[in-house]
Structure 1
């Protein structure tokens, strides 16, 4: 049955000293010095120390956290080492995912698709767009022979000027425009220099091309 001290505090049966005031119970020897009852710790501290214990500095007995007096010898536990709740370790933030490398597209191969050029007939300023083409034939249209060149000079003095039906060819090689004579009757001239048959020569902006007596100007942007 519960045991009460002279002040009426109730203690478990068999307790040697009152848990509230430290008064000896029964025939147990009184503590040499009874310290005043310490103030009740805040609820937050009790919650933090719940389940921990504190050691009596006199007899070494283990007492529940928050007890005012040692339940073994009655010595005040005020000033005894208090259990300290370890703060929760902050969770390290997750590292952001590494950015994906940009999608690098391979450089397009050098073809006529990415090149721009024009042929201009100097007699009448007629322009022929060569952009986006890898192979351009130059001459005179002849339905009988089934010859239809990309650049037909018939309306631009081609027949009177001695232009062959398949006179010359401009094509793209290694990203550059090249000019080649196709064994024409009246020859092909680049900047007034006669070209050898089937021997490609590189073209540059503002080059003069002469097919027979018809003069063209090669232009790039």
Structure 2
């Protein structure tokens, strides 16, 4: 029983090619030739695998054992793998053709948002200047009385001051003497009234005068102090005075 020199598988004595791999076996003593058949079938090319139950070689027509992979007489394969479809060849440029440029895929256009024009900032409202508060008054300094003829009589820098007419008989002299300015003829009393400062405000008080005191044409009740504002008219009897505060 010959052995295959390539895969080592034992084969029948009459085999010239290995049943396992199809390699040519080691020569054996020649046997009596078998008369060849009168008509040898032509070789047939199979398009598919030979059935595992085939009993003759499709190449030489010799009988084969079912299940063998190669013919013992001619070594032809008894099983044919199905043809493998060739992959289509890629499209290649003709020899000598210039290389084709490779363009990147188009990118989607990006639309940048357009910012709305910024409105000019609104200027802050300009506050009207507020005059600084006048310092709290502690005396009558800066208070003046203006007569109709333009004469100005300043009050003393004291907390209070009496206004009226001088009386040499009783030796009484007020702080503001209106005798030289027609005080007797116009009904000004000797102790007609007084000016004083309270909590930084200038007040005038009528001291029970006979002919009365008036501010802005309104008669003042006696012994009830009234605040005096700059520019107001103070009338004693019929003598008119304009109060000026500084």
Length-normalised TM-score, structure 1: 0.48
Which structure has the greater CA radius of gyration? 2
Which is richer in helix?
A: 1
Length-normalised TM-score, structure 2: 0.43
